[in-house]
Chain A
Amino acid sequence: MIESLATRIDPCAILDPSACERFAVEGRRPSVAVRPGTVEEVSRVLRWARDQRFGVVPWGNGTLMHLGFPPERYDLALQLDRLNRVVDYPSADMTITVQAGLCLGSLQRILGEHRQYLPIDPPNAGQATIGGLIAANAGGPRRHSEGTLRDMVIGIQVVQADGSVVKGGSRVVKNVAGYDLCKLYTGSFGTLGVIIETTLKLRLLPEIEASVWCEVESPAEAESVVAAVLDSELCPVFLEYLNGAGARAVGPAECHGWALGRPAVLAGLDGPLEAAQWQKDRLRAILESRRARPGLELADDVQKSVRDRLFQFRSPPGHALVAKANVLSSEVTRFIERAEQAVSAAGIPVEAQAHAASGIVYLRSRAAPPCEAQVSAVQVWAKLAAEAGGCLVMERSDPEVKARLDVWGPPRSDFALQKAIKQMLDPHRVLNPGRFIGRL
């Protein structure tokens, strides 16, 4: 098998078989791993894989590989980290075109020299590649003010399963020519094409960063603070809610003495100096008017570590179970409270983080309860999420648990179209077969 591949690409791009271990997904290993050095090689590899009806898993740096079902077939890992060139950075236009294998850490360093950045804050930001992040439409707390990668990708190039190269969008910030292929490939989890290049819309770095940690007595008080902030003239860059256990995990060390597991609301008030100060004062007044505890403004070094833990929350080392729900903002605190209660009898302690204004919730548990208990926990959470207007996606669990559950939740009324799109663009199911919604 490897011999026939070696005639098609630079043999050095084919990794030693011992490296396959590195590319395990949910316990499954590929038979061959390839690190192509050119787009042309990506095309050749895919054409070859398609002809053999192989299953291919596109791979950036593997930071989010636990998402989704295990691949149904997994013959080849396609690692794109060698395609990491900056193609064009016209900084005055506030756009950048890069290859997909560039990691976010490097990208932010390059942009930082011009006081610009890409306003996303996914876990493992240093290592995660742009292509992988786009495939997962990964965001973070700042989605409230800046949106997700979906709102930043203005151009995209992919290699299709048949090896052909297709582009969508352009290099300019506004464009409605043709269908918006950027939206189609963003968040498609590598099931429609291998992302190789993208053009991104950039933002200016804020003049200062400011974070205020607001301890609250109860989820209900948290909801009242969140609602009041959203109804005020404050324009936080993020507004996070953490349940008691979540607050303990993320919170600043100086809070730990008196936190005792109280929930918290964390507001990011980045912006021009004067505006940040005004917002801090206004937030204080809001808390006072609700007779809530005064907020704690985080000192710079503390703020940095709190933000790091916040951004990392979704992908923690050593946690057995992580689930993501998308619900209405108004339902966030109640949903989390009910999710905790539903599993407390089973002895599962739940740490929760929510992008409270956007309604994105992460539930995680360090404990690894028996498989049965995990399955029923996820089932009950999914039901609660549906009642709160959204869905539940199980991001991480024991493989055995995943095997027994619908990781992405039940298909919705548009599933026939979703399936038709996959069928049309990857008819032989080469790319990430069986990993995405409905085991596409």
Chain B
Amino acid sequence: MLKPSVLTQLAEIVGPREVIRDPEELVVYECDAYTLERDGPLAVVFPRDSEQVSRVVRCLHAEGIPFVARGAGTGLSGGCIPAGGGVIIGLNKMNRILEVDYRNRRVVVEPGVVNLWVTQAVASRGFLYAPDPSSQMSCTIGGNVAENSGGPHTLKYGVTTNHVLGLEIVLPDGDRIEIGGRAEGYPGYDLTGLLVGSEGTFGICTRATMRIIRRPQTYRTLLGIFETVDDATNTVSGVIASGILPAALEMMDQLIIQAVEAAFHFGFPTDAKAVLIIELDGLEAGIDRQVGRIREVCVQNGAREVRLAASEEERLALWASRKKAFGAVGRLSPNYCTQDGVIPRTRLPEMLRLIQRVSETYGIRIANVFHAGDGNLHPILLYDERDRDQVRRTLKASGEILKACIAMGGSITGEHGVGIEKVSYMPLMFSPEDLGVMASLKKIFNPQDLLNPHKIFPDSRTCMEPRGPGRQAPV
């Protein structure tokens, strides 16, 4: 419970209507899109500007109350769960695009701006904001900055960190600082690079300056249809080796194809074992030669059919199906959990076979929809949370897949973050010395650990195996 005096102070800063304290309303804020673990906030406050964020933080800091920033709550690793209790600072009402500068290809936005709004705001002038996570219709820029979000088109265009030039940050003691800026390459340590992807543990982003890019002149979007998963994964390697860099290279397996087809009726062949979405973009001149080459690679690797999106509408429908794939999974199972491991992309055939084996060993169905070109897997483990044994097997199967990723020189997370979910895997990927440096950095920014505690690194609260659903607080 928050002391009444603190509630009064918060209400004075943001206005009484911008403070949520009713337990029934707070339930919504117990978790993000990773639902295996939950913890309720003491209150949620919605500041309107960075000055208010700073004052809220100053107040909580003075009282020694933990706090965490939250955008749309679409995160997939529990990054904005108030672990152990605390106040959530909701940034949704700071949602203005402050400036668009086409000549310098910059936008300045507040953290609550939804990812897709940026592209929508600049589309009429032929520009776009490149990072395009699947949740881009609802996820916010602040969350993207915290998680260093990716998306299908990162294969060619990079992730959030490659597009952020400067940030205004409220530090955990309430101080406001500017890092980076509107120009490129300020002298000094690259704090912008360090802040992006720090999962909201260094400071709260209250303003971001980002690059926009010219929309490519043209797109060619191919759908490769395969009889076996192996054929599809071999094609991925073939495409990467072909001397052509696609803008996106995505894979969906049969379970996903069927779920997506049932939900959106795009026209995916539900008997295929896998499909690849391969998108090329760039100048019209010469692109069809590249399309021809990609077709050849698909066919050489046993594609049953290669379709080319005939129109922009068809292309957009294809992408809509892909990006909503996670939503369609609800048709397959009452609950699911998504993994985010990364491996060298040439080892996909091996890895997909391993996932199949894990699925059989633990009796857990696993669907695959992922950024194949980057080697960024998203195995979706299907389970029913009412069955405790299934939950246990799901967690074990997840762990086995992540350990295999590490063994291949990869990572436990490509774009979803460690959050609370993958805390216990960090020591498998990093040595005590590596983690020591990270811990020292955290101590510099967040010395009392009031901002988003118990995330990323194992500590006494989180180093135990998650108990799974029904767990109301971290162990």
User: Could you list which residues of chain A lie within 8 angstroms of chain B, going by C-beta atoms?
Assistant: 90, 92-95, 115, 137, 143, 147-148, 150-151, 160, 164-168, 170-184, 186-188, 192, 203-204, 227, 230-231, 233, 235, 271-275, 277-279, 326-330, 358-360, 388-391, 393, 408-409, 411-415, 417-418, 420-421, 424-425, 436-437
Nearest CB in chain A to that of B192: its residue: A183
Q: Contact check, B414 vs A409: say whether CB atoms are below 8 A apart.
A: no
Contacts A172-B409, A174-B375, A329-B103; is A408 near B441 (CB within 8 Å)?
no
Please measure, in the bound complex, the distance between the C-alpha atom of A363 and the C-alpha atom of B196, giving whole angstroms: 32
Contact in complex: A360, B184 (CB < 8 Å): yes
| The residue from B188, B415, B431 contacting A167, defined by CB atoms under 8 A apart | B431
Is the pair A174, B344 in contact by a Cβ cutoff of 8 Å? no
Top 9 A-B pairs ranked by shortest CB distance? Answer: A183-B193, A274-B286, A278-B285, A175-B411, A390-B183, A272-B286, A174-B414, A274-B285, A171-B409
Binds A, one of B111-119, B154-162, B269-277, B316-324: B154-162
Question: Is the beta-carbon distance between B430 and A171 smaller than 8 angstroms?
Answer: no
Stretch at the interface among B1-9, B66-74, B353-361, B432-440: B432-440
In the complex the two chains form, is B178's CB within 8 Å of A412's CB?
A: yes
The answer to whether residues A174 and B376 also contact, given A166-B437, A274-B289, A424-B440 and a CB cut-off of 8 A, is: yes
Given contacts A408-B188, A418-B189, contact A168 B346 (CB under 8 A): no
Q: How far is the CA of A90 from the CA of B348 in the complex (A)?
A: 14
User: Do the beta carbons of B433 and A165 come within 8 Å of each other?
Assistant: yes
Structural contact, B103 and A170, CB atoms closer than 8 A: no
| Distance to closest chain B CB from A280 (angstroms) | 11
Q: Assuming the A-B contacts A115-B243, A183-B190, A233-B217, are A174 and B177 also in contact, with contact meaning beta carbons closer than 8 angstroms in the complex?
A: no
Q: How far is the CA of A273 from the CA of B374 in the complex (A)?
A: 27
Per-residue 0/1 for B103-115: is the Cβ within 8 Å of any A Cβ (1 yes, 0 no)?
1110000000000
Q: A174-B411, A421-B444, A425-B440 are in contact. Are A92 and B346 (CB under 8 A)?
A: yes
Q: Which of B382-431 contact A (CB under 8 A)?
A: 409-418, 422, 426, 429-431
**Cα–Cα distance between A411 and B282 once the two chains are bound (Å):** 41
Chain B residues, Cβ within 8 Å of A411? 188
Which residues of B (285-323) have their CB < 8 Å from a CB of A?
285-287, 289-290
Given contacts A390-B183, A412-B178, contact A177 B444 (CB under 8 A): no
Q: Encode contact with A along B250-288: 1 for CB under 8 Å, 0 otherwise.
A: 000000000000000000000000000000001111110
Tell me if A437 and B103 are in contact (CB < 8 A): no
Q: Say yes or no: B437 contacts A425, CB within 8 Å.
A: yes
Contact of B456 among A178, A233, A388, A409 (CB under 8 A): A178
B35 at interface, CB cutoff 8 A:
no
Q: B223 to nearest A CB, angstroms?
A: 23
- Partner of B162 from A137, A147, A233, A418 at Cβ < 8 Å: A147
For this complex, 16 residue pairs linking A to B, each with C-beta atoms less than 8 Å apart, are A92-B240, A95-B344, A170-B342, A172-B409, A172-B410, A173-B345, A176-B197, A177-B422, A179-B194, A180-B194, A183-B161, A272-B286, A359-B104, A390-B181, A391-B187, A414-B177
Our pick among B105, B184, B346, B437 for the contact of A90 (Cβ within 8 Å) is B346
Measured between beta carbons, the chain B residues less than 8 angstroms from A92 are 237, 240-241, 345-346
Contact, CB under 8 Å: B410 / A171: yes
Query: Which residue of the partner chain B has the closest CB to A411?
Result: B188
Which partner residue on chain A sits nearest B346 by CB separation?
A: A92
Given the complex, which residues of B lie within 8 Å of A279, measured CB to CB?
283
| B191 is an interface residue with CB less than 8 A from chain A | yes
Q: Say whether B150 faces chain A, with CB atoms less than 8 Å apart.
A: yes
Whether, in the assembled complex, B352 has its beta carbon less than 8 Å from a beta carbon of chain A, the answer is no
A187 touches B190 (CB 8 A): yes
Partner of A233 from B103, B214, B410 at Cβ < 8 Å = B214
Residues on B facing A (Cβ under 8 Å): 102-105, 126, 147-148, 150, 154, 158-159, 161-162, 177-179, 181-194, 196-198, 214, 217, 237, 240-241, 243-245, 282-287, 289-290, 342-346, 371, 374-376, 409-418, 422, 426, 429-431, 433-438, 440-445, 456
Give the docked Cα–Cα distance between A409 and B345 (Å).
43
A279 nearest CB neighbor, chain B only: B283
In chain A, what residue has the closest Cβ to B417? Answer: A176
B191 to chain A, nearest CB (A): 5
Q: Complex Cα distance A306/B153, Å?
A: 34
Q: Which of A93, A151, A164, A393 has the most CB of B within 10 A?
A: A93
B61 to chain A, nearest CB (A): 17
Q: Quick one: given A177-B426, A424-B443, are A414 and B190 in contact (CB under 8 Å)?
A: no
Inter-subunit contact A414/B193 (CB<8 Å): no
Q: How far is the CA of A148 from the CA of B165 in the complex (A)?
A: 13
A278 touches B284 (CB 8 A): yes
B158 with A151: CB separation less than 8 A: yes
Kindly report which residue of chain B lies nearest to residue A170, judged by CB atoms: B411
Asked if B283 and A278 sit within 8 Å, CB to CB, the answer is yes
Chain B residue numbers with a CB within 8 Å of A418 are 188-189, 191
Contacts of A170 in B (CB 8 A): 342, 409-411, 429
